[in-house]
Structures are given as C-alpha cells and as structure tokens.
Structure 1
C-alpha cells in the first residue's frame, strides 16, 4: 500500500482518462470522487456525453501494457469474454497508398474491445476500489481557490437535472479529465490566471462509421483484428475495418472537408473509392446494423500548461483535457494511460510536488505521440499548423519508410513498435534501420 498524501482527490470526468486517474489516485488518497454528468454505473453501450463513442477506438500496444500494469489480469479477462486479443504486428493489416506492409511477430498485444466495452470493464474494476466513489448525473460548475488564489481547493457541483442546488466539494487535488470540451482553461482565466497556450493542427476531419453483422460475406481480416487503409497525401481517404466481439465496424475518414456520406448507398460508394479494394468488397453485400453515423473533428489541440507563467497548485489534467489527438491515429486512450503513469510517478514524490513539475513531465511524455500525429497531418499540404524543420524532415523520410515496410520485416517491426507507442520515433532513425529504408529496391 502506497503512503497516503491527502484526504480527498476529485476527478472531473469518468471516461477512460478519468478511470485511469482514479485508479492511480486510489493508492495515494483516502477518498477519490469521480464526478460525471452521465449515469455511469451499470451502463452499457455508448454514452451521450461521448459523441465519438459509437466509432472505432483502438487501444495501442503501450496502452495494453499500462492497463495490465494497473489492472492485473485485465487482458486475460477480456479474452475469456470473447474480445479479440492478438499480436499487434500480425493482427493489423496496415496499408499505405494501397500497399500492405509486412506482417511480423512483435510480442506486443492488440486488444479489440471497442470504446464502451473497454470503459465499462475499467469502470467495474475501479468501482471495486474502497477509496473510490462515483458522483453521477452531476455537472461541475467552477473551481474553488484559496483566498490567495495560489491553490485549488475543490469544485462547485450541481445535479445535471437541476434537482439539487449547487454545492462545494472540497479536495486536496483536482484532476481534469473532462476531455476535449474542458472548461478548466476558461475557469482559470476567470480566476486571474494567464490564458493556457494552445497548439493547433487544423485537419477538418470527418469519420463516418457503420456496424455490420458477423460473419462478413468476404472477410479480409480472418483471425486478425483490423484492416487499416492509412490516408496519405497521395491517397487522402482512409478507413479502418475492425473485428469487434460481436460485430464488424467500418470507419471511413476524410480530411480537409472530404467526408463519407451518412446515407448507406453513399457510404458504400465512398468505400469503393479507397485504395484497398478488400474493404469495399467486405461490406458491399454485408448486413448493416443500423445507419452510418458521422463525427467531425476540426483540429488536434495541445494545451501547454507547462508554459504558463502562473499556475495554481492542486490542479492537474490528463487525457484529452491536456492534449486532443487526431483520432485516426488511435492514440487517445493510450496517451491517457501514459498520463496516468506520469501522475503516479508525480504522486510518489509526496504532497509537496509542484503542479508545474507534473505538467513538464506530462509534456515530455506527450511529445512523441504528438510529433507522430501532428507531423503526419502536416504532411497534407492543406492542413494548417506549424511546420518545423523536424516536421518537414519527418515527412520527407516517412514515405520511404512506409515503402520499405512493405518488403522488409525488420522495418515493419520497428514501425509497429513506434506506432504502438512502445518505442519513440527516434527508434526509426537509427543508422542500421535507415540503411534498410534507403536501400535501393527493385520493388520500388
């Protein structure tokens, strides 16, 4: 049992990031309260407060490792319940510009549970912790600071349906896990703190998803988990066809205003234009489970708390509340887990560890996935954002690396480990691997 460093911690938001945070906080605080506007306990299926919940969510290899570390036996329980669990390198059929990269054993685990199923299983585990309670159907109104304004001491909450008056919830630590729509930066500004600096990469992405009954008439996945057609500047339309526990799901994505229609015939026609014909062939004669649904994602946003000139103690953030990633890279849930590990290490330093130190460590942990997704998006000429020398160099070498991964197992394995957020992007730039990438090939 870890040493308790405070009486109560309050987590704003009960989604994946909030559950990760609560699991870590329970080792360090006597009481942990999760506040969420939705009813959470006993809920199955996508939630209203999670508009992207009906779409495919990927858990990368590093995310699975963190889940297993914080919730021992989690993967085994999912597999026993029928959730597809496979090798990250052999179960995913990655295609760049229509060309498949080599499938290789990686000893990394890929879990295809779907967003709401994964969240439900995590919530059940967290609810068993004696330190944790859920304050459901409750809105967070504002932060509460000390008279000097240098520390956050709690939040004001009220019933979402208006049945109860607002009240104060005291806390030694408040963790913002309310996601991309967080109001914490605005509340801080109203309390006299500086504006939180933001970096944005404007992609104007829409992804449109439809579920299908199993089995598919033509199944390109087989015993694997997904076929992924990655959008590239030369082939800007992308897709993920995934096998879930009880169905298949196809998500079509388009950048810069391009989007798949939500009428079924238009959805199929968009799928037909992909550079990977097997995706359209798989669903052309399949049985849809409902109509296609769309989700619009305007921009990736990184909030730079670590750069603020003044920052109150007693307030932290993780998950989408700190950094919102383009969802087609499937990094969000895994980065939330990475943030929970940063939070755990921060709490182990004791009650006097400053918030700024946490945000500096979180920024360092976010750098690699941000560079990958933001840099990849900035390879599309129409995407708006800051193109540094590092970004331009990466987008020069990446097409050659992707081409090499179609023929070279070692390059493919290295790519998988980086894409799974297990290894840093720098692992792709070592001299032996680059010699394989730049080696002339008759297949090119």
Structure 2
C-alpha cells in the first residue's frame, strides 16, 4: 500500500481495541496520532475501569484474526509464543440443545486469549509505532469546531489529576469511546440531529470465573461452548487461556438472574445442555467470586442516515453498533471498520463522515442481521419478526440440527459466524440439500 500523508494530527477518543486499531491505521497517514483515555493504558496489566467486560469471555473471530495479522505482521505467532493457546475454529466443542456439532478442520484460527491479554498485545504493538502517543487520565468534554460548527478542529478535555482543562487541536477526531459514546449529545449541542437508534432488548447477563484445572476437561480442544437456546436458556463459554488457567462465562437471557456466588455458579453450570463443564468445576476452587455484568439490549445508531454531520470527525466501534456479546462480533467488526477507514485514507484525503459511516453500516449489516435475527428466535425477545426473519430462523434451526451429522455444514456455519463468508453461503444449494437430508422440514399443515 502506498502511504499518503493526509494531515498533521489525528486524535482517537478511547484506547480500547477499536481505538488501538484506529490509531494503527491513522499512523500511516497522519504525522502524529494521540490516543486519549481516562485510564493509564500503558501502565495497565489487568482489567481496566474503562472495560468492565474484560473479565468475561471474549472472542476474536476468524476475520478479526486475519486483520490483526495484516496490521501487525506475525501477530498470532507472537501471541501463541507468549503462552496463549490457538486452535482451529471447527475443532472447538460446540453444543446446541445437548448435541455436539460435527468437528471439522476449517483453517480458521481462534486466539483463545483473555480480553486483557489480547488488548495488551495489540497495545504493545501500537505503542511501538513512533508517531503514536497516549494521553492518560483525561475526561473527554466535547469536540471543538470552527465558528460555523461545520468542521471539527480539536477536542476539549479535563485532566482529572491536575483539575485543569486543555484543548488539543486535530485534523481528524475518531470517536471510539464505545457503547457510552456521547456523540449523540455532542451533535445536539452543535445543532445537529441525533442518530436514530435500533434496539433489540435481550436482558442478557454474564457471570464469569477463572479456575486452575491441572487436568483439562477439554480433551484435544481448547474450548467447549454450549450455546444458550430457548430449550436450554443457560449458555457457557469455557476455554483454556494460559497454562492450566481456564475461563468460564455463563450466560442467561431475558432477565434471568446471573449467579453471583460460587454455589449459584456451580448450580447454573449444572443447567447446561452438557454435563462436561459442571463435572470439571464441581470440586474446583475459583480464583475469586463470580464477576457479573448485565447487557440490556443490542443497540445500533444510524449515523449513516443523518443529512448533516461535522467534517473531520467519525465514529468507529461500539459507538456505531453494540452487539449481543454472545456472538463475539464486536472486536472483529471494529477491525473491519478500521480497514474501511484505512482504504479511504489511502486515497490521500481525510475521510468524509457520511461516506465512512455508510461504509461502516454496510459492514455492520451482516453481523447485525446474524445477531438480531438469532435473538428474535427467542419468543420472549421484543422486536419485529418479518416473514423473512421467521423463515431464516426456521431454516437456521434445521441447519444447526443437521450440522451434528455433516462436517460440511459445520464448516460453512463457522465461516459465516467468523465473518469470512456472507450469510448467503448457508443457503447455497449444496448446503440446503444437506439440511434437507439430515433435518427435513416439517410438512406444512393446511
């Protein structure tokens, strides 16, 4: 790629995964990149205040792993050399309604790191880039604009330790502050419309513990994943993350209370559609009490539909769309959005907000359709169920059932879930024929 300088300084608001990836692509086109965050990013070795979800199970989907290796050559090998296990996505032990999907080697790599470890590796690579700097201990107050309020010229911050305010000039501001982004408020204050929002109310809860298990219950695999379904509402993600350390997250939908004590945690593990996880932890002591977090709704903000938006400012990451975390899409979608930003910057001009947000919306369409459509398969989840969604969910139920018997279905499913192939691949004639063979549709009653 030919690098063309676009401006003097770019500022990234927020230093989580989306912010780090944005800083990486900006560093090729701006003389200086500053990452502003309330936490001390470079001094962080554990879960940060800004990422309370970090102790819970995370997934870097296959497409995300590919992008990280493109942005940081040798990334997966480096992470694996540090002791983080990696494996093939199709070799994980996936369970649906008590049945394990057929195992298959897909060539798609799963990095089984904790969110903290993964972010640390990315942060170390970003911090090593000479023109990227980090400013810690700041509260983002607002963007600064020209007198006409049509163009962003910087950002105003509050230094919490010193109690002082400062304005940083910028040629571009990228908001990666996540689900709690104040961009809708800032737009209103500047005289712009707020974006429309789409919500799918799921009332999800996560409860997570770490266990030391010298004898792994996972056999030749790194993870066992019994997904929550209407028939088995409690789901789980269990995996070895380093040495004999195993992470276990239990999930519950629709407001079911998360297990908050180790006794409740073990009892919830007994509700899973497979007994392997309960048997592994029933006598094991956790590193600490369960950590609990709630996720009320998936939220998508439609910035691409706004008629007006200030120049030299864009939104990237969870501020655009915050997905149901069960699907593990957030980090990979942020990586795809960063690559879209990179492609625009390669043209030698600052990104046009409307154009970038439209490109990001096209990226979001697929994972949002997968997650929101899948959530609507739960009868109690609120949302519009179009005939297309109902037909797709009925087919997906049959496809997942058929995947127990034929690895070709599992592989196709993993490639779509990993954001490698489009959802249309699930409906290809050869896959549909296998679904009909192993999970024929029930006859229509007239």
TM-score normalised according to structure 2 size: 0.96
Contact 1:253 1:259 in 2 (8 A): no
Aligned pair partner of 1:349 in 347, 350, 355: 347
What are the residue-to-residue correspondences of 1:44-63 with 2, within 5 Å? 44-63=45-64
Residue 321 of structure 2 is matched in structure 1 by 323
**1:235 and 2:232 matched:** yes
Distance 1:267 1:353, change over 3 A: closer
Please, which runs of 5 or more residues in structure 1 have no aligned partner? none
What are the residue-to-residue correspondences of 1:415-434 with 2, within 5 Å? 415-434=413-432
For the residues of structure 2 that align with 1:237 and 1:101, how far apart are their CA atoms?
A: 18
For the residues of structure 2 that align with 1:118 and 1:187, how far apart are their CA atoms?
A: 31
Q: Give me the CA root mean square deviation.
A: 1.4
- Count the aligned residue pairs: 439
Contact 1:63 1:337 in 2 (8 A): yes
* C-alpha displacement of 1:36: 0.2
For the residues of structure 2 that align with 1:326 and 1:195, how far apart are their CA atoms?
A: 23
SS of aligned partner of 1:52:
helix
Residue 126 of structure 2 is matched in structure 1 by 126
SS of aligned partner of 1:144:
strand
Deviations 1:152-199 (A, max 9, x none): 1111011123x1421111111110110111111111111110011111
What are the residue-to-residue correspondences of 1:215-226 with 2, within 5 Å? 215-216=214-215, 219-226=216-223
TM-score normalised according to structure 1 size: 0.96
For the residues of structure 2 that align with 1:354 and 1:49, how far apart are their CA atoms?
A: 29
Contact 1:153 1:170 in 2 (8 A): yes
Aligned pair partner of 1:412 in 410, 414, 423: 410
For the residues of structure 1 that align with 2:200 and 2:438, how far apart are their CA atoms?
A: 34
For the residues of structure 2 that align with 1:241 and 1:180, how far apart are their CA atoms?
A: 26
* C-alpha displacement of 1:259: 2.9
Deviations 1:373-392 (A, max 9, x none): 11111111111223233322
Residue 103 of structure 2 is matched in structure 1 by 103
* C-alpha displacement of 1:338: 0.9
Residue 172 of structure 1 is matched in structure 2 by 171
* C-alpha displacement of 1:12: 0.3
For the residues of structure 1 that align with 2:71 and 2:225, how far apart are their CA atoms?
A: 29
Contact 1:58 1:331 in 2 (8 A): yes
For the residues of structure 1 that align with 2:373 and 2:103, how far apart are their CA atoms?
A: 25
Residue 259 of structure 1 is matched in structure 2 by 257
Deviations 1:183-216 (A, max 9, x none): 1111111111001111110000001001101324
Contact 1:220 1:227 in 2 (8 A): no
* C-alpha displacement of 1:441: 5.8
